[in-house]
Structure 1
Amino acid sequence: MELGSVFRALAVVAFLAYPSAYAGASEASTPPHIEVTWAGGATMIITFDDMTILTDPALGAEGFRMGDPNVPDLHRVKFHRRLTPFSGVDLEAVDLVLLSHAHEDHFDQEARASLSRMLPIVLPSADIDAVEAMGFESLDDLKWGETRQFHTGTGEVRITATIAHHSRDPQTAEMLGVGNGYWIEFSQGDWRRTLYWTGDTLPTADVIDSVKSLGKPDIMVPNVGGVGTNGPLGQISMGAADVVAFADEIRPRWLLPIHHSTYAFYREPISELVGKSTGEPYCLVIAEGTTTLYE
């Protein structure tokens, strides 16, 4: 791998703190930028202009309860202990929750108890009844290909739901429920950046085609971890080889993997992706704990 193509968390903050110039900027103005903080699991805090988005909130500092897709008895609920520190999330600052799907490792018991019932949530159509039954009132279900636009003071955020398949096997994918990936476009004047968050998907042909139709993302955020590889459902989240093959198709500038290391049921270590990224053209960002990036 070429020198500088893999960054650890602290190096990235320094490197990306100075976005490129944009049309209409003055010396006194702050250039537009995206701030992405990974808080473990699939939880991110994404801030642009005056808008803060919280993704797949897993807020339990100790862990959460769910079945284990890596063992034969899928229906036996167990406690999944958090292995990495959790610095918390300022829920008062959150304007929107973005759910890829409502499995407990993506929307845990603590989040279900502590989030305001009036906080806007964008989520897959398949989960709207279940989340509404939890008491949440401001729900907006997004089907694949649908877009929502949000004004952010001086800019805009456009969120488009993309195809996501939790398994390569159609029956297993149907059993696990229909989730979303998201293509997020941030714009301010002539400045524009895009972030593609895969959600829990495998890189099937239709998933790849749906993303390629939207362009080349500046930042790709894949859910990895190799979950289920030896379990009764088979593989239900990407491993390193899947991510590299996917990135080779859609050609992102930056690759920020999440959904790894936080819990023991993420079976594949992130070192696998580091090794398989040797020679790849993207810049791989390996987060250690909570990571903040600017782009």
Structure 2
Amino acid sequence: MKRRDFMLSGLGGLGGIAAAATIAHTAGANTPSRAPAAPRLAISWLGGATMLIKFDDFTILTDPTFGEGKEAYFMPDPNAMFDLKTGPTPRFHARNTPFPGVDVSSIDLMMLSHLHEDHFDQKAEATIPKTLSTILPPADADKLGTKGFTNQIPLDWGVSKTIATDNGKISIRAIPAHHSANPQVSAMLGKGNGYWLRFESGNWKKDVYWTGDTFATEEVLASIRRIGQPDILIPHMGAVGATGPLGLISMGAKEVLELAGLLGNPNVLPIHHSTFPLYLEPASHLIAQADVAHDRIDLIAEGSTIEYI
């Protein structure tokens, strides 16, 4: 099986977060001046790995999956047994829940951890404006280009970008993402991204680590240690692949709690669970294994929003 052919689209220190480029944010430039509101970070979970992250009138969409019903998206099934030489047969996958909906005209930036179809599905591809600014792994740039998306910002591991907002800034750094703890399987699935996002306004600051599909390998941990400890950890869960020949290709509750402990036990906002049958382990496993004395789990329902102030 050739590298990156397993999934149809493939996977593609802020203590040195020097901005290699700046994305100007001009929304509200012509509105009357007013005292800035108290800084806050609002994160809405729309199912899967899809989030709306809002800060200072700037809105980020992550890993969009808009499909619904029994044929929500088309992709090989890593949970099924298959011959590693040929890979799994693509099929339609269901969605368990209705898609909460999103106004794509309100999005300022799209961020992709990788291009597997449970992270960027066919309906999202057909719906999202092709000119939308998009941060993504360099390994997926050509593939996204063939889909007609023209405003790409490839971000390799360790590279940072800064977004100027009305009253502050957002710094984004690409973090290594290893789709398996097995290096051979990870290489087969391709090179994806996690992201460290720092939101700042005056003396107010929040650090968020969105893992992407990864495990806490030494390379991942070394990259994070160069930055510090996050306030919020957003892990991809679901224990995908547990029943297939590749083994785990996304974290389960055990791996998430171990990672949180290594990162100083930040708030954990779990995503990439429950939405699709593809995700084998429910979020209830995380709650059952958490130690309420120190594990801070922010478990929210699809379509819900949590604010950090």
Out of 219, 243, 248, the residue aligned to residue 235 of structure 1 is 248
After superposition, the Cα gap between the structure-2 partners of 1:245 and 1:92, relative to the gap in structure 1 and judged at 3 Å, is same
SS at match of 1:89: coil
Displacement of 1:71: 0.3
Residue 33 (structure 1) aligns with: 40
Residue 74 (structure 2) aligns with: 65
Q: Deviations over 1:82-132 (max 9, x none)?
A: 102211111010000000001100000011111111100000011000001
1:82 paired with 2:95, answer: yes
Q: Which amino acid aligns with 2:237?
A: V
**Retained in 1: the 8 A contact 2:78–2:88?**
no
Residue 276 (structure 2) aligns with: 263
Displacement of 1:289: 2.3
**Retained in 1: the 8 A contact 2:65–2:120?**
yes
After superposition, the Cα gap between the structure-2 partners of 1:143 and 1:280, relative to the gap in structure 1 and judged at 3 Å, is farther
Residue 190 (structure 2) aligns with: 177
Residue 204 (structure 2) aligns with: 191
Q: Quick one: percent identity of the two aligned structures?
A: 44
Q: Which amino acid aligns with 2:180?
A: S
Q: How many residues align?
A: 268
1:52 paired with 2:59, answer: yes
Aligned counterparts, 1:113-192, within 5 A? 113-192=126-205
**Retained in 1: the 8 A contact 2:42–2:305?**
yes
Displacement of 1:213: 2.0
Displacement of 1:169: 1.3
Displacement of 1:279: 3.8
Normalising by structure 2, we get a TM-score of 0.84
Out of 264, 279, 284, the residue aligned to residue 297 of structure 2 is 284
Q: Which amino acid aligns with 1:72?
A: M
**Retained in 2: the 8 A contact 1:251–1:282?**
no
Superposition misfits of 4+ residues, deviation over 2 angstroms: none
Q: Deviations over 1:40-62 (max 9, x none)?
A: 00000000002100000001133
SS at match of 2:305: strand
**Retained in 2: the 8 A contact 1:35–1:293?**
yes
| Matches of 2:192 and 2:58, distance apart in 1 | 24
Normalising by structure 1, we get a TM-score of 0.88
Residue 257 (structure 2) aligns with: 244
Q: Deviations over 1:194-248 (max 9, x none)?
A: 1110000011122122112211111100000000012011110000110011000
| Matches of 1:171 and 1:160, distance apart in 2 | 25
Residue 9 (structure 1) aligns with: none
Q: Which amino acid aligns with 1:57?
A: P
Structure 2 alignment gaps of length 5 or more: 1-34
| Matches of 2:124 and 2:292, distance apart in 1 | 39
After superposition, the Cα gap between the structure-2 partners of 1:263 and 1:181, relative to the gap in structure 1 and judged at 3 Å, is same
Aligned counterparts, 1:6-21, within 5 A? none
| Matches of 2:53 and 2:216, distance apart in 1 | 24
1:225 paired with 2:234, answer: no
Out of 196, 208, 232, the residue aligned to residue 221 of structure 2 is 208
